[in-house]
Each structure stands twice: as C-alpha cells, then as structure tokens.
Structure 1
Amino acid sequence: MIPRSATGPCPCGGQPFGAPLSACCGPYLAGEGWPPTPEALMRSRYTAYAVGDTDHLFRTWHPATRPSGVEADPSLTWTGLEVVSVSGDDDEGVVEFAAHWTSGQGSSRQRGAVRERSTFTRRAGRWLYRDGVPSQS
C-alpha cells in the first residue's frame, strides 16, 4: 500500500470536506468497520485505488462478479472524486461518479476521468460493489 498520512485529507473528499483519512475512509480500509451506505463504500473504494489498497478493493467486491485478482494502476495518480448521483433502497444502491486522474510528468502528462454508474448490493448486512458501467456524467 502507498503510505498516506492518517492526518492528511482523505482522497475521497468526504464530509466534512477535508476530513483526515483517519476520520473518513481510513477505518474502512483498516478493517475497523464497514461502509454503511453504497456511497460510503464507493468513496472507500476510490480511496483504496488512490492509496493502492487492493485488499480493500477485493474484500468489498461481490464474490459473483469479483475477478480472481485486483490490481491498482501505479502509473495513475487519483486527483479527485465527484459524486454525481446516489439512489437505491435497502438492498441495492447506485452511485454515479467521476474519478479524476493524472499520469506522466511534464509535457507527457495526461489527465482524464473514469465516469461510472456503479451498482452495490447488500449481502449479509454489508454493502458490496457488484458492477459498473461507463456513464456520460
């Protein structure tokens, strides 16, 4: 995992805005709790990508759709998260978001965003990422 200060701001930009990792997604990544909503799970998964925590990504992925291995792309730096919409009920939730990234340096620097409509399912009382489709947010 890429080290990140527990007192630095959480990559997901959760509420309150600028909250430290230790008061936002950090406990979920450390296995000290489970995200209580689909949005909280999505934010923790974004944070896991940002810090390279593939264990959190694996354990929060629904077993029916989870790949055999999960990898984070070390060439990407995740630079911001925008939650576009959140909907759902007690058993299924949908979060549409844009996750911004940069790659490279100097004149070869590239910027982009992953835009996705992610579906989350509650299983045994815990929210899990089921799947996602690209969106036009």
Structure 2
Amino acid sequence: MTTQAHEMPPALAAMMTDDEVAAVKADAARWRYGFLVVCAGLIVVLLGFVVVVFKSGAPETAFAGLVGVVGTTIGAYFGVQVGQSGKDRVEAELRRTTETAMRLAAKIHSHDADEVIKATMDRGRGTK
C-alpha cells in the first residue's frame, strides 16, 4: 500500500523513518475503522430505538436506554483511541531514546564514559 498525497504531505514523509510512517498509517487506520464500527453500532442502536418506540408507544423509557448506550459507546471509543495513541507515542519515544543511548555507548571510550554520562544527564535535566 502506497502513501497517497492527501494522506501525508511528501515533505513530512521525507523526514520520517519507516517505523514512524508505519505507525502513522496504523494510527490513521485504527481511527478510520474504529469510527466506522462505532457508526455502524450507533445505527443499529437507533434502529432498535425506533422499533421499540413504535411497538411500545413509550419513547421516554426507550430514550433513556438509548442515551446510556450511545454515551457509553462514544466514550469508550474515544477513550480507547486516545489511550492507544498515548501508548504508541511513549513506545516510539522509548525506542528513540534507546537507540540514542546505544549509539552513544558505541562511540565513547570507557575512560570518557563517566564524563559523557554526567554531561548527558545534566543536559536532560536542564542544568549546565
């Protein structure tokens, strides 16, 4: 599957690694397909609501159930999506940090290690 121009600007795609591009595509697919599933579920619930209202003649009771189901479904959808998105961002940052640490460890000599680690840790904390 190729990246289409309307999905990701070429300049942005050029700056991203293959892993980042794959993560962006997966995130977009999760949102798109999750949204379609939620919409399909809401349509089924609304159709059930209409049938219950016409058969029972008591729309108040059916409406209370409808509001509960729709609110729960929408809240769960967005909660899962946001939670998964945050988890993916943290995992990507962990991979980047680990790679940086591995590159740093490969480049320094053992007699310079303590000084480099101290300088790196101080810079990460904002002290100089």
Richer in strand (by share): 1
What TM-score range do you get, normalising by the shorter chain?
under 0.3
TM-score using structure 2 length: 0.23
Larger Rg: 2
Richer in helix (by share): 2
TM-score using structure 1 length: 0.22
